[in-house]
Structure 1
Amino acid sequence: MLDRSFRGAALTWRKSSASDSAEGNCVEVAVEGRSVLVRDSRKPAGGMLVLGSPEWRTLLRRIVDGELDGR
């Protein structure tokens, strides 16, 4: 995990339409150059994960394949 500050950068954060709005359990993502930033939607001022393209694709594959269910 890498936590970097992107102060001054105008980031557009997106949240899935399938997010759990009732419980507030969701992450938001934004693209900055060649990186994908991921943060907790309940704590937007907190830290964020900065993932390169290979790491982002691996994370998405593992989510789709159910490898991270129940963790």
Structure 2
Amino acid sequence: MNERTPCTVQWRTSSYSGGSGTECVQVGTLEWMRAVAARDSKDPSGPVLTFGAGEWRTFLAEVKRGAYDA
């Protein structure tokens, strides 16, 4: 059995992160889980949130429609 962990994720900075350097969200695909992981780039060893593919699509749709705009 080949055990995989989120530390094998290829992280990339979200296109929705602000340019000020204070809102750095990184995401990575967990293909083996059919999921997406998200973390704070300022704390790469900190907590990682994991979303199922459907949950991630719903979240992105809400972001695009401005549901989380401040």
- TM-score with structure 1 length normalisation? 0.76
Which position in structure 1 is the counterpart of 2:50? 50
Amino acid at match of 1:6: T
Q: Secondary structure at the match of 2:55?
A: helix
Amino acid at match of 2:5: F
Which position in structure 1 is the counterpart of 2:38? 38
Which position in structure 2 is the counterpart of 1:11? 9
The percentage of counterpart residues that share the same residue type is: 37
- Between Structure 1 and Structure 2, the one with more helix by share is 2
**Which runs of 5 or more structure 1 residues have no equivalent in the other structure?**
none
Which position in structure 2 is the counterpart of 1:66? 66
For these two proteins, the number of residue pairs brought into alignment is 65
Query: 42-51 or 23-32, which moves further after superposition?
Result: 23-32
Q: Distance in 2 between matches of 1:18 and 1:35?
A: 19
- TM-score with structure 2 length normalisation? 0.77
Decide whether the 8 Å contact of 1:36 with 1:53 is kept in 2: yes
Amino acid at match of 2:8: A
Which position in structure 1 is the counterpart of 2:21? 23
Q: Which has the higher contact order (CA 8 A, sep 6+)?
A: 1
RMSD of aligned residue pairs (Cα, Å): 2.1
